[in-house]
Structure 1
Amino acid sequence: MKLFLTFILVMALHSGKLLADTPQTAAGEWSISLSAGAGKVTTPLSNRDDLQGYLLPAVSYYGERFFIENSFIGYTLFEKQNWYLDLTGSLNDDGFFFELDGINQFGWWDALGMDGGFNSGDGIEKPVYKDIKRNLSYMAGLSFTWLTDLVEVRLSSLADISGVHHGKEHHLSFRKSYHWQKWQFRWHLGTLYKNKKITNYYYNLRPDELGNNPSWFGLPGGLNYFYGVTLSYQLNPQWAVQAFWQKNQLDQDLLRSPLLRSDHYYSRFIGVRYSF
């Protein structure tokens, strides 16, 4: 299960913005590929291990209006020559780090290197701290894409439709692809704002996680940004060599939380891809 979620995390981070284009298929057909190589996503959580994977599946479908890119789903509402408006949905990435690295054994005391037990051995009973658990959430909303000769611009506004935290997030991203013979290069960068319902759900602490004491800190909404590159070489219609790298920078205010050890994380993959 952990390995499967690692795949989904990497794809959620890169769907629609990182992976090099696979060979084009006709409208209404499925595209399936499998990449093998070395992949890694570092974690910003305290005392947690980085996530690693060696296989990277990708599934996509493009109809006249409906499309799927792994966990990214959309429906085109309006389309013109140089812009289009989509109704889209995607997984929120904050929950992956909790789901993937032993949430049932993860508490704030663990993050700080403290003992979370209740028996001190000296006859004094210590509070019982509850293990920390955070759920994945699914975000949906509108996405506007503007196509120019210089860059592709995308603006999205999404809200939680899974009932996990009822938060909202807003994305602004830029990307550009270049093709030369069998080579493709793509760069991308962007920023995203997550409101305080999201930041406090994932990174603040509940009274029952603090021995029925209130949290000593609060988190505002967070302004994050990211940038990355993708490079691929198409050996033949089925096989390609590909690599990508991305840095995600978190808002500095999130470091008020003991659950976080770092204000950034990286994701990268290098390997070969086979398209079915």
Structure 2
Amino acid sequence: MPYLLLLLCLLSVNAHAVATADCDQDALCATEQELHLSFALGYGQRSNPLYGGEALPLVLLPDVYYYAEHWFFDNGKLGTGWALSEQLQLSLIGQFNQEKGHFQKWFGGNAFQFNSTVPGINIIDERYGPLQVSVQEIRKRPTAFDLGLQLDWFSTGWQLQGALWQDISNTYQGQHATLSAGRNWQSRFGDWQLGAKLHWKSAKLIDTYYGIDNNEPFYLPRYNGKASWQPELRLSWQRPVSERVSLLAFLRYLSLDDAMTDSPLVKSDNVTTWFFGISYRFY
């Protein structure tokens, strides 16, 4: 089972750039045959856009990647890459789909907390607004595994990336894709990175996780998911204190369109993630 080989993927925080044949100091890339292991201790939170969903506290964040000659593991992604040129890299990668993380606080654990009592039926008159559905009222959302092709382009201080993913676990039988651009620079206050990303998620993916179908309790409103476009902005900062210790912080804002907000499961039109802490690098 590929799941058993990839359980470490569940510790994902952030994906680093794939190694290229020639890596200058300012490029976002890793060195071949390099192991990096660090932990950041601090506090932050990722909001949950779902009714009844719990925000995810961020206290201890691992950062783990390893690049061998023919394969790599990078914070949740396992794959292999081909250097097309000094600035262009193509990778075949696999990872667990992250959509379930909104439904299960400790995504990847096998101790999902079901509601032990039957939830109350709170039917709302349509004249006063739509019915709101808690995640405790719906059936468990599945765990999916995706295989993707990722193309990275590097230049001094810049990175462009495109990725297309397909569900190979026969869970939601759909696709999703991302386009992103990032710029990093140094100042006397530390190292900065600003990025923008556009997510596209197929109707089958949205329907599997945020739709309400005939397998749900009869009193819940039906909802069929549709394809979704979700823009995201990211800002991160890091200031080295010593060779192994750094201060760091990041802020991410993901905007959700009406394909998500029309679902009776969704209460918010955004997901906000933030963290501030201190990092120690072991390797």
TM range (shorter): 0.7 to 0.9
- TM (normalized to structure 2)? 0.78
What's the offset of the Cα at 1:216? 2.9
What's the offset of the Cα at 1:87? 0.8
Instruction: State the match for 2:115 in structure 1.
Output: 105
Structure 1 residues 167 and 224, CA gap change in structure 2 (3 angstroms): same
Q: Is the 8 A contact 1:43 1:265 kept in 2?
A: yes
Matched to 1:224, the amino acid is Q
Q: 1:54 aligns with which of 37, 53, 59?
A: 59
Please list every run of 5 or more consecutive structure 2 residues that lacks an aligned counterpart in the other structure: 1-6, 18-25, 107-111, 124-135
Structure 1 residues 266 and 106, CA gap change in structure 2 (3 angstroms): farther
Aligned residues: 248
Q: Is the 8 A contact 1:193 1:221 kept in 2?
A: yes
Q: Is the 8 A contact 1:72 1:89 kept in 2?
A: yes
**Residues of 2 paired with 1:219 and 1:75: CA distance?**
33
**Residues of 2 paired with 1:25 and 1:73: CA distance?**
14
Q: Is the 8 A contact 1:99 1:136 kept in 2?
A: no
Matched to 1:33, the amino acid is S
Q: 1:218 aligns with which of 198, 213, 224?
A: 224
SS at structure 1 position matched to 2:103: helix
Q: Is the 8 A contact 2:72 2:79 kept in 1?
A: yes
**Residues of 1 paired with 2:137 and 2:31: CA distance?**
52
Q: 1:71 aligns with which of 61, 68, 76?
A: 76
Matched to 1:236, the amino acid is S
Over residues 151-205 of structure 1, what are the superposed CA-to-partner deviations in whole Å (9 max), with x where a residue is unaligned? 3111111101222211101110001111346821001111011101100000012
Instruction: State the match for 1:15 in structure 2.
Output: 15
Instruction: State the match for 2:173 in structure 1.
Output: 166
Q: Is the 8 A contact 1:25 1:31 kept in 2?
A: no
Matched to 2:247, the amino acid is V
Structure 1 residues 232 and 216, CA gap change in structure 2 (3 angstroms): same
Instruction: State the match for 2:253 in structure 1.
Output: 247
**Residues of 2 paired with 1:256 and 1:36: CA distance?**
37
Structure 1 residues 175 and 130, CA gap change in structure 2 (3 angstroms): closer
Over residues 197-233 of structure 1, what are the superposed CA-to-partner deviations in whole Å (9 max), with x where a residue is unaligned? 100000012313123x896332211111111111000
Please list every run of 5 or more consecutive structure 1 residues that lacks an aligned counterpart in the other structure: 117-128
SS at structure 1 position matched to 2:114: helix
Q: 2:154 aligns with which of 147, 163, 166?
A: 147
**Residues of 2 paired with 1:100 and 1:192: CA distance?**
22
2:209 equivalent to 1:202: yes
What's the offset of the Cα at 1:106? 10
Matched to 2:40, the amino acid is S
The share of aligned pairs that are identical, in percent, is: 22
Over residues 241-265 of structure 1, what are the superposed CA-to-partner deviations in whole Å (9 max), with x where a residue is unaligned? 0000101112222222111111211
What's the offset of the Cα at 1:78? 3.5
Instruction: State the match for 2:128 in structure 1.
Output: none
Over residues 100-134 of structure 1, what are the superposed CA-to-partner deviations in whole Å (9 max), with x where a residue is unaligned? 17662399x96xx7459xxxxxxxxxxxx974210
Matched to 1:163, the amino acid is N
Matched to 1:152, the amino acid is Q
| RMSD after superposition | 3.0
Q: Is the 8 A contact 2:212 2:224 kept in 1?
A: no
Structure 1 residues 236 and 106, CA gap change in structure 2 (3 angstroms): farther
Instruction: State the match for 2:140 in structure 1.
Output: 133
SS at structure 2 position matched to 1:197: helix
